[in-house]
């Protein structure tokens, strides 16, 4: 006669041991099974010559697909990685650099399997420098009865640096808008400079101040002795 076993006939300690072994084996299997993840690695240009400016770059980051164990991929911290491109030999014009992500120090058990893009194009231009006048950008209208007396910018000029073709064609730079609406007294304020787009920057970051002077318009009154008189009819 076959012997029957019931669940209650097993020792609880053996059940707990079996459960622990199962969890341990599952953990090992999960940690060693292969997986794949994608990461965006920022591009960093190194060795740029002092007389050059980067005016265009085809990619700011490289998307890398990395394969490895799940445990290894958990050790990939994106913030730790950059892809450095040595541009020390750059000259005015466009240079193309091949992307080789295998030289990134990936964790043990992880390896890159693809990257995009495979090349990075960088455009270089000669650096330029120029002193340019500052114009205050005024908007709005003064209240009725007031007129603008003077607008004074301090300093009146600033040195600019950047791509030579852009710097040399600038005749002036302008401040952020200054609103005249409601202004009934002199006002001096610190303003930012609006350079717009492009690869041009201020050499000196000292603050710029604009003084706006206004005054009330003079209202002409009647002159002395000009009171209304009755017309002279010539009678004696």
Of the candidates 21, 112, 110, which has an alpha carbon nearest to the alpha carbon of residue 69?
Answer: 110
pLDDT for 29: 47
pTM: 0.68
Nearest to 201 by CA among 169, 158, 171: 158
pLDDT at 236: 43
Is the CATH number 2.170.120.40 carried by domain 128-216? yes
Domains 34-126 and 128-216 share a fold: yes
Residues of the chain with pLDDT under 50: 7, 25, 29-31, 235-236
Residue ranges per structural domain of the chain: 34-126, 128-216
Domain 34-126: give its CATH architecture: Beta Complex (2.170)
C-alpha distances in Å from residue 211, one per residue of 51, 196, 208: 37, 23, 10
């Amino acid at each position: 006669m076959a012997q029957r076993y019931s669940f209650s006939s097993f020792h609880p300690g053996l059940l707990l041991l079996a459960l622990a072994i199962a969890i341990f084996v599952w953990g090992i299997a999960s940690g060693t099974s292969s997986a794949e993840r994608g990461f965006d690695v920022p591009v960093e240009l190194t060795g740029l010559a002092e007389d050059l400016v980067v005016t265009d770059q085809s990619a700011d980051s490289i998307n890398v697909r990395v394969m490895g164990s799940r445990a290894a991929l958990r050790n990939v911290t994106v913030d730790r990685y950059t892809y450095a491109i040595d541009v020390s030999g750059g000259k005015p014009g466009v240079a193309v650099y091949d992307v080789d992500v295998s030289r990134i120090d990936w964790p043990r058990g992880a390896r890159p399997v693809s990257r995009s893009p495979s090349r990075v194009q960088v455009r270089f231009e000669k650096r330029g420098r120029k002193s340019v006048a500052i114009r205050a950008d005024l908007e709005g209208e003064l209240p009725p009865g007031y007129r603008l007396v003077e607008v004074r910018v301090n300093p009146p000029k600033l040195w600019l640096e950047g791509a030579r073709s852009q710097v040399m064609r600038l005749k002036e730079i302008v401040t952020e808008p200054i609103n005249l609406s409601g202004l009934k007294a002199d006002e001096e304020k610190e303003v930012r400079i609006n350079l717009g787009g492009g690869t041009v920057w201020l050499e000196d970051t000292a603050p710029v101040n604009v003084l706006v002077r206004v005054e009330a318009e003079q209202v002409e009154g009647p002159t002395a002795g000009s009171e209304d008189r009755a017309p002279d009819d010539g009678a004696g």
